[in-house]
Amino acid sequence: MGLKFIEAHKFDIDDFLDNSYFEKFLDTSSEWIEKRTGIFTRQFSNCGNDLMALDLAKKFKNPMQDLDLIICASFTSKRRMPSISSLVRDELGGNKHCLCLDINLACAGFAAGLIIAESYLDKGRRAYIFASEKISDYMDMTDRRTAILFGDGAGGVLVEKNDKLWETDIASFPHEDSLNLDENSFITMDGKKVYRFAVEEVSNSIRRLLNKNNLRGEDVDKLILHQANERIINQLIARLGINKNNSLQNLEKYGNTSAASIPLVIAENIDLFKDKEKVILSGFGAGLSLASILMEW
């Protein structure tokens, strides 16, 4: 069994900040940031996660009142209750039997939300899975290791349970102080540890999915990886033997938007997907955790 993607949208933030923004207060340059990360611009939102999520939900044109499940993926929510997913359910006029969940798996959150939805839904039933991240609230603008990497964003998809190919691989590993955020503090990261985790464990995860279905890298029609860093993405593509042209990316525009990165890519490219294509999604990050999906579109 699997999921059919009915509709996808992203939250619109008006302004983009290019790398020269950081030259004013950090010992860095636009060229250094571009070379090290592949990021050219990012966006910082003027409103919080909940308002971003509510605005995003209004963009969907298909009926949203009869959903069985709404999942919000976010590690940056300041709201304890009611959950952002519950607020969205109210905005959509959803039925009272719809299960509403906010989950936090950081950058793996959206892919994990899809896996939960596929397990929960009956065939033909629908769910709304979205991510809303306002990372700028938790960035230390004096820390060059993290300030240049992240941006805010929100994106979501309406999905329906079907009977197509659907294989998943999830895993968790010791975090070893690789990527942390405590209450009333800023994000801290050991870039080398995160890089090694992503290149080694995500490639292993995707390879397990391919081997289980007697597929090779060249059989993958579309690849969407968490938009963490261009060097990580390029290493994974090379290790897996996937055609680089089949990797859909927007890292250069938005930077690392955590759980929102995969739905942002889907929303901007949904018209490129073709029926029966083999698609891989993989989110990875704090936990350390990963969630990978092989599906037939």
Which residues are annotated as catalytic? 107, 226, 256
DSSP for the chain? -EEEEEEEEE---S--EETHHHHTTSS--HHHHHHHH---EE---SS-HHHHHHHHHTT--S--TT-SEEEEE-S-----SS-HHHHHHHHHT--TT-EEEEE--GGGHHHHHHHHHHHHPPTT-EEEEEEEE-GGGG--TT-HHHHTTB--EEEEEEEEEESS-EEEEEEE---TTSEE--TTS--EE-HHHHHHHIIIIIHHHHHHHHHHTT--GGG-SEEEE--S-HHHHHHHHHHHT--GGGB---HHHH-B-GGGHHHHHHHHHGGG--TT-EEEEEEEETTTEEEEEEEE-
